[in-house]
Amino acid sequence: MYSSTFLRTGILLLLLSLRLFSFSQDTIAKQIDTLHEKKGKSPRAAMIFSACVPGLGQVYNKKYWKVPVIYATIGTTIYFFDANNKKYLEYKRAYIAKTDKDSTTIDLFPYLTESVLQEDEKYFRHYRDLSMILTGLFYTLNIVDAYVDAQLTTFDVSDNLSMRITPALNLYSSRQKPALGMTMTFRF
């Protein structure tokens, strides 16, 4: 009887503390959003801008120097996607032309065998797909960069940040002997 009452009380306290904890997180999130709005940089807006037009979130965050870097990386991967796709399609057509058993078909690469054409086709398809993955990765990084940069506009970088490392003597070790160690103290 005693244990079931204790269990019910424990569950009730747990539910109440979860409710209070979620309320405090919600309150903190609202305060952070208010702080961002006071400074004029909304992470959500920066993320949406960069998702719509790559680099626009960086312009919103006034980090103009990042825009050419973003366009250079995304443009380079798109260029390589296009070049590899053209070569892939060219070798694919050549392989089909060589293996179709039609005498009227013009062989684009008469000096290459079927296996070499097939290997070249796989090679360019692989690098075309890799270029597409890298394009998506750089596009996503553009969005993440805008979001993080907007989040860090309220980050406090004052002179009051410090770390101190000092030697320490632990008298409460499990070996019942004093133990030497290091103590790190952060101040912010």
DSSP state of 107: P
pLDDT at position 102: 81
Range of the domain at 148: 29-154
35: in domain: yes
110: in domain: yes
Name the CA dihedral angle for 26, 28, 34, 39, rounded to a multiple of 10 degrees: -140
Nearest partner of 58 among 151, 154, 142, judged by Cα:
142
1: in domain: no
Confidence of residue 148 (pLDDT cuts 50, 70, 90): very high
* Full-model pTM: 0.62
pLDDT at position 21: 45
Q: Judge whether residue 28 has pLDDT over 70.
A: no
Average confidence (pLDDT) over 140-144: 96
Average confidence (pLDDT) over 55-61: 94
Average confidence (pLDDT) over 67-90: 96
The span from the CA of 77 to the CA of 107, in Å, is 31
The span from the CA of 90 to the CA of 83, in Å, is 11
Give the pair of three-digit tokens for residue 134: 């890298």
73: in domain: yes
Helix (H), strand (E) at residue 17:
helix 2-39
Average confidence (pLDDT) over 119-130: 96
Total number of domains constituting the chain: 1
Q: Judge whether residue 14 has pLDDT over 60.
A: no
The span from the CA of 51 to the CA of 46, in Å, is 9
Q: Judge whether residue 32 has pLDDT over 60.
A: no
Nearest partner of 76 among 118, 157, 148, 131, judged by Cα:
131
Asked if 105 and 97 touch (Cβ cutoff 8 Å), the reply is: yes
Q: Judge whether residue 27 has pLDDT over 80.
A: no
The span from the CA of 98 to the CA of 91, in Å, is 10
DSSP state of 154: G
Average confidence (pLDDT) over 115-142: 96
67: in domain: yes
5: in domain: no
174: in domain: no
User: Amino acid identity of 72?
Assistant: A
HSE (CB half, 13 Å, CA atoms) of 109?
Answer: 19
58: in domain: yes
